Structure 1
Amino acid sequence: MFKMGLIISSALLTAYAGYMFIDRIADKIKDYYRQKKTDEDKKEKKDIMKILYYEPSSPPARLLKFGFLIVAFALMQMAVGKFVFSGVAAIFAYNLPGMAAKRKYKRMFALFGEQLIDSFGFLRNSLQAGSSLSQALQIMVDQSSPPLSEEFEEVLKKNQFGVPLDKALNELDAKMGNKDLHLGILAMNVTREYGGNLSEILKRVVDVMRDRMRIAKKIDSITAQGKLSGWIITAIPFFLIVVLTLLQPELFGMMFTTVLGNVMLGVAVLFVTVGNIVIQKVVAINI
């Protein structure tokens, strides 16, 4: 039973290592094709993380997920020999690439939102200096850093190839799903169509963005304890499984060797997972 505890611990560590490995490999692939200066379409085809996030049902994404599922199931069968545990590991492995893609893009969206305030400041200053909106956007791209510069550069490229600027901006708005970006793009489209002082409107938008960010940071500091408590409560049962397996292998070993024990463990894992999801939903406050 001591070996059983080591196997479970090793499986959890291997899953986490695989999660981080996917993220690192995706970054390496993206950096490689950026250095090669391939065109945007080719980069999108080669970026597996983009496919996993925006097209999770596409054949490449499904192929990768099923590959992880088969490998995880085979490894757990060889290590443990229990169909229940192998099935749980396979389900987790199937969702692992999607989880890695969501984590990567969540970080990217957060960084994009942080860059918006300064970038809209560049845009406002350029408009006040007499530049057109397209020229001001190009200056903003030159003064900004990825990921914001890459996304707005794509907007300008679409505009150069004949796509109306308002349509390209709306596509970016739908892609990023950022409330502050939506306010800025709405202001750009309205002033382009009906007229108005865009620089003054952007100043007010930036003020709103700063207030929203200040409130969001305050909320994060208040709810941080609740989020941490949720993860600690979730981790305690798994920690106890390992401890009891090591200390009382004859007594707790029946949980792994009998059908009833397997069912009880499965139900316990299900309840712990649902509890963690509920806690995270309660402490997640959107503004």
Structure 2
Amino acid sequence: MDQMMLMMVVGGATFLISMILVFAFAGGNGMSRQARRRLEEIGAGQKVAAAAKPKSQNSARRRAESSGSKLIDALVNRLVPNPDLLRSRLAKTGFKITIFRYSAFTLMTMVVLFLTCYFVYSLSILLSLPVAFAGGLFLPHAIVGFLGKRRINKFMKTFPEAIELMCRGLRAGLPISEAIITVGNDSPDPVGKEFRGIADAMRVGQSIEDGLWDVAKRIDLPDFKFLIIAISIQRETGGNLAETLAGLANTLRKRRQIKLKIKAMSSEARASAWIIGSLPFVMFFLLWLANDGYVMKLIEDPRGAYMIGAGLTLIATGVGIMAKMVRFEI
């Protein structure tokens, strides 16, 4: 009976992973090519259709983010609680990660964790299932959050320089549209990539404000929204936009200096936290090297598993509290 169950679980997991890979990479790419051809047709259309370009482009992009099958697309959008929020988080990473591929990776992670817990660590099904479910939801979410935060930090590092480059262009007599094109060509990614996208949108008939708000939805930064508001007010009422943007760039640079100063002042406390937090693991490793039989009693005894779990929970709680204490919003 155990052997039959083993064969059924392994066979089902293999089939599930194979189908996920096929739909995620084969079907998704086919739809992406179709969507790209549709976008090219829209871009090459007449000027009469230029006003409808943003809506058609967003619709085509949304279709490109779905799977190759309408049934699978409806299933994914029904299972995901908030597809728009997830789509926004995926866009922050800078990679072309569709909702379906994210869901496929989540399912694959759950299957791998379940097989690892059940067959490698010989845990029961009742324990393996919740561990696999929790890990499958947490790991992709944490990876996407890390990639998005890293890209936002890179964006903020070069964003003040991009604003100053825009200011120099405005003072030289360039219109705001040409200043945006200059920023896209001369700034490093991800700032340059986002501004090049705005320039491409303007070439096909989209307004500057709409292109900027599309970027604001992806990166979700208050400073970038302030830039959009300043440009919108200047285009409607006039005024010295260069001075306003110069003040914004100066504010962003001073804010970054304060963050670096706080990081330097709290470096000693963070180093102490790392040392204290790593001491239990270092001591466990040293004791294992000195006398492995003495240490293995803690692992082999069922009571030791509860003690290890309680200790890891307390360490994780302490690390989380200390991380909150040294995190400041400026």
TM-score in same-fold range (> 0.5): yes
Residues 221 and 92 (structure 1), Cα distance of their counterparts in 2 relative to 1, 3 Å cut: farther
**Higher RCO (C-alpha under 8 Å, 6+ residues apart):** 1
**TM-score (norm. length: structure 2):** 0.64
**Distance apart, 1:64 and its partner CA:** 0.7
- Rounded Cα–Cα distance in structure 2 between residues aligned with 1:239 and 1:87: 29
Asked whether the 8 Å contact 2:90–2:148 carries over to 1, the reply is no
The CA deviation string for residues 118-157 of structure 1, in whole angstroms up to 9 with x for no partner, is 2111111111222221111011111112111111122233
- Rounded Cα–Cα distance in structure 1 between residues aligned with 2:305 and 2:106: 26
Match of 2:261 in 1: 218
**Distance apart, 1:76 and its partner CA:** 4.5
- Rounded Cα–Cα distance in structure 2 between residues aligned with 1:252 and 1:119: 57
Q: Are 1:144 and 2:187 matched, yes or no?
A: yes
- Which amino acid letter does the alignment assign opposite residue 208 of structure 2? L
Residue aligned with 2:272, SS: helix
- Rounded Cα–Cα distance in structure 1 between residues aligned with 2:267 and 2:219: 25
What is the RMSD of the two structures over their aligned residues, measured on CA atoms? 3.4
Q: Which segment drifts farther, 100-109 or 81-90?
A: 81-90
**TM-score (norm. length: structure 1):** 0.72
Identity over aligned pairs, percent: 21
Residues 174 and 45 (structure 1), Cα distance of their counterparts in 2 relative to 1, 3 Å cut: closer
Aligned pair partner of 1:58 in 81, 99, 112: 99
Q: Gaps spanning 5+ residues in structure 2: where?
A: 1-31, 40-56, 67-85, 92-96
Residues 92 and 229 (structure 1), Cα distance of their counterparts in 2 relative to 1, 3 Å cut: farther
**Higher gyration radius (CA):** 2
Q: Gaps spanning 5+ residues in structure 1: where?
A: 1-32
Residues 163 and 274 (structure 1), Cα distance of their counterparts in 2 relative to 1, 3 Å cut: farther
- Which amino acid letter does the alignment assign opposite residue 216 of structure 1? K
Residues 162 and 112 (structure 1), Cα distance of their counterparts in 2 relative to 1, 3 Å cut: same
- Which amino acid letter does the alignment assign opposite residue 137 of structure 1? I
Match of 2:113 in 1: 72
- Rounded Cα–Cα distance in structure 2 between residues aligned with 1:52 and 1:67: 22
- Which amino acid letter does the alignment assign opposite residue 310 of structure 2? V
The CA deviation string for residues 104-123 of structure 1, in whole angstroms up to 9 with x for no partner, is 33222112111112211111
Asked whether the 8 Å contact 1:72–1:93 carries over to 2, the reply is yes
Asked whether the 8 Å contact 2:185–2:196 carries over to 1, the reply is no
- Rounded Cα–Cα distance in structure 2 between residues aligned with 1:120 and 1:277: 36
- Rounded Cα–Cα distance in structure 2 between residues aligned with 1:163 and 1:255: 65
- Rounded Cα–Cα distance in structure 1 between residues aligned with 2:149 and 2:265: 21
The correspondence of residues 132-211 of structure 1 with structure 2, limited to 5 A, is 132-211=175-254
Aligned pair partner of 2:167 in 101, 112, 124: 124
- Rounded Cα–Cα distance in structure 1 between residues aligned with 2:106 and 2:277: 26
Counting matched residue pairs gives 248
- Rounded Cα–Cα distance in structure 2 between residues aligned with 1:149 and 1:82: 50
Match of 1:4 in 2: none
- Rounded Cα–Cα distance in structure 2 between residues aligned with 1:57 and 1:160: 26
Residues 101 and 275 (structure 1), Cα distance of their counterparts in 2 relative to 1, 3 Å cut: same
The CA deviation string for residues 220-264 of structure 1, in whole angstroms up to 9 with x for no partner, is 111222233333333222333333444444444343233332222
